[in-house]
Chain A
C-alpha cells in the first residue's frame, strides 16, 4: 500500500516555481530519503504533505486521504517534525506533549508520553519549562510532539541539523525501531548524506523543484563507478594513458590524483603503468563511492 502519494504537485511563490510537478509514491513501512541542496524544494514538499502549504496544482494523499479535501483523516496519520526550532514558552515538556495529544483527540496518553520521553532521554526534563531547555533538548521535544499520536507516517525535516552526536544516535535508534518493529513509514530530509545512506532504503533527489533521481539506495550506489583510487606521487608524472580516469586532481602538496576504477581488477594495471612511466607513489588509498559522490554527480548533471 502507498503511504504517501504525491501526484504532479506544483507550487509557486511570487513567480518563483518552488515545485515543478513533483510525483512520488512512498510505500508503507519504507524509510525514505528526500535529498537535495538548499532551495531544491524539500521543505516546500514536506509542508505540502503536512498541509501547511496548499499546492497550486496536483495532490498529496496520506494512506489514500487527500491532505486538502480530507485533511482530518490525512493529518491523523501523519507526524511531522518541523525544521525550525519552535516551542511554546508557556508550558513544560509534559504539558506540551499532553496538549499535542489532545489536539489529536487523545486523552490519558501519559503511558505513551512517558515511553516517548524515555526513548528520547527527556524523562528528567518532563517538568521543565520549554524556555529553559537547550536547543538539542527542544529538538527532542519536537520529535516527541510528532510522535504523541503514534502516526503511521513520520516526516522528519532535517531533524539532526545543528545537534550533537548523542541526540543523533538516540534519535536514529528510536526512529529505526519505530520503522523496523512498528512498521511506521519514515520520510527524512537531511544534509548529512551519510545518515541518509545508513538509514534510507529508497531516495529521491530534488533539484530546482524537480525529482532528478528516484531509486533504491543500492541501485543509486551502483550508479557511479564502484570505487576510486587516490594516489599522491613523490616523483614523476601521471602517464597520458591514465588521464581519462582522473575525476579530481590537486597539486598543492605534491601531485594528487583521484582515478575512477570500476572494480579492484583495474587497480593493478594502473599501478603497472605508473611504475613503467617512472612515477614513484608516495601515498595511495582505495575509496568506495558513497551517496555523496552520487549526489554531487547528479546535482552537477546538466549544469
Chain B
C-alpha cells in the first residue's frame, strides 16, 4: 500500500526528531505543563467554560491540541529549512520520489511528532483535573487532522522560507496567534460578538473546538461542521503544497 520511498522518508523524518527527543518532545511537554500550572492555578474556581466545565479541565484539551499543532508544524518546517540551508535536501531531490510521496512522508512524521507531544502533555496534565472522554473518536480524528494541517503548513513554510528568520516570522506572526486566538485558553462564547465572528474565520478554532468536543460532548459549534471545515482546509493546503513540489518552487531552480 505504501511505497518503500514513502516509508523510508517517513521513517527518516520520524527518526530525526526521535534522536533529539529532549528538545522535540520533552521541552514542549514541560512548556504546556507550565501553562497549566499558571493559568489553572490563577483561574480555576473563578471561571467556568462550556456550561459547568471547570477551567483546568477545559484548558487541558486546549493545551494538548495546541502542542499537537505547534509541534506538527515545527517538525516539517524545521526539517525542510535545515535541509535547504545545509544543502542535504539534495538527497531527497535526486531520488525518484513522487511529489505525493514526499508530501505525505513529511505530513506523516509531523502527525507522529504532534501526537507524541500531545500524548505526553495529556499524560502529565491529566493528573491535575478530572477529564471525561465522551466521544474519543472525535479526539483522535481532530488530533490527526489538526496535525496533518499544521504538518502541511510546515511543508509550505519550509519550502517558502530561505532563512530561519523567515520561518520564525511565519511561526510567530501566523501560527502562534492563530493557535492562541482559536480558543485554547477560553471558549469563544465568552468573547464579544465581533470577536466571536472573527474567530469563526480562524480554521484553528474548528480544530480545537472539535477536539474539545471529544472530551466534554460540548463545543461552541457542531463537530460535524468543524470536521467539514477542517477537511476542506486540509485539502486546499495539501493541493497548494503538492503543487509547490510539482513546480519545484524554491527547490528546483
Contact = CB atoms under 8 A, between A and B. Distances in A.
Interface stretch (A46-54, A228-236, A262-270): A46-54
A161 to B, nearest CB: 15
Nearest to A50: B94
A107 interface: yes
A86 to B, nearest CB: 4
Contacts of A105: 3-5, 96
A103 B8 contact: yes
Nearest to B105: A103
A282 B91 CA distance: 58
A102 B5 contact: yes
B248 interface: yes
B96 A75 contact: yes
Contact of B248 (A54, A74, A82): A54
Contact of A103 (B5, B19, B86): B5
B235 interface: no
B12 A99 contact: yes
Contacts of B52: none
Contacts of B3: 105
Contacts of B4: 102, 105-107
Contacts of B252: 51-54
Contact residues on B (Cβ < 8 Å of other chain), bracket: 20 to 34
B86 A86 contact: yes
A100 B91 contact: yes
Contacts of A84: 87
A84 B86 CA distance: 10
B87 A73 contact: no
B93 A51 contact: yes
Given A51-B252, A102-B4, A102-B5, A72 B93 contact: no
Interface string A63-90: 0000000011111101010101011111
B189 interface: no
Nearest to A51: B252
Contacts of B90: 52, 82, 86
Interface string A89-107: 1110001000111111111
B178 interface: no
B216 to A, nearest CB: 40
Given A102-B5, A104-B5, A52 B88 contact: no
A76 B4 CA distance: 14
B15 interface: yes
Interface residues of A, number: 34
Contacts of B16: 90
A12 B219 CA distance: 56
B92 interface: yes
A76 to B, nearest CB: 5
Nearest to A71: B96
Contact of A88 (B8, B20, B88, B248): B88
| Best-buried of B15, B91, B98 by chain A (most CB within 10 Å) | B91
B253 interface: yes
Given A54-B253, A102-B7, A87 B88 contact: yes
B192 interface: no
A78 B248 CA distance: 19
B15 A104 contact: no
Interface in A97-140: 99-107
B95 A86 contact: no
B248 A75 contact: no
B91 A88 contact: yes
Interface in A147-188: 149
Contacts of A101: 8
B8 A102 contact: yes
A101 B20 CA distance: 24
Contact of A52 (B19, B86, B94, B96): B94
A145 interface: yes
A104 B95 contact: yes
Contact of B88 (A51, A73, A86): A86
Determine which residue in B7, B90, B94, B252 has the highest number of CB atoms from chain A within 10 A of its CB, and name it.
B94
A90 B91 contact: no
- Top 10 nearest A-B pairs (CB, nearest first) are A102-B8, A103-B95, A86-B87, A72-B96, A75-B96, A105-B4, A86-B88, A88-B88, A76-B96, A99-B12
Interface of B: 3-5, 7-9, 11-12, 15-16, 19-20, 83, 86-88, 90-98, 248, 252-253
Interface of A: 13, 50-54, 71-76, 78, 80, 82, 84, 86-91, 95, 99-107, 145, 149
21 contacts: A13-B253, A51-B93, A51-B252, A52-B94, A54-B252, A71-B96, A72-B98, A73-B96, A75-B94, A82-B90, A86-B90, A87-B86, A90-B15, A95-B15, A102-B12, A103-B8, A103-B9, A103-B91, A104-B5, A105-B4, A105-B96
Given A84-B87, A90-B19, 5 more contacts: A86-B88, A88-B83, A90-B15, A103-B9, A105-B3
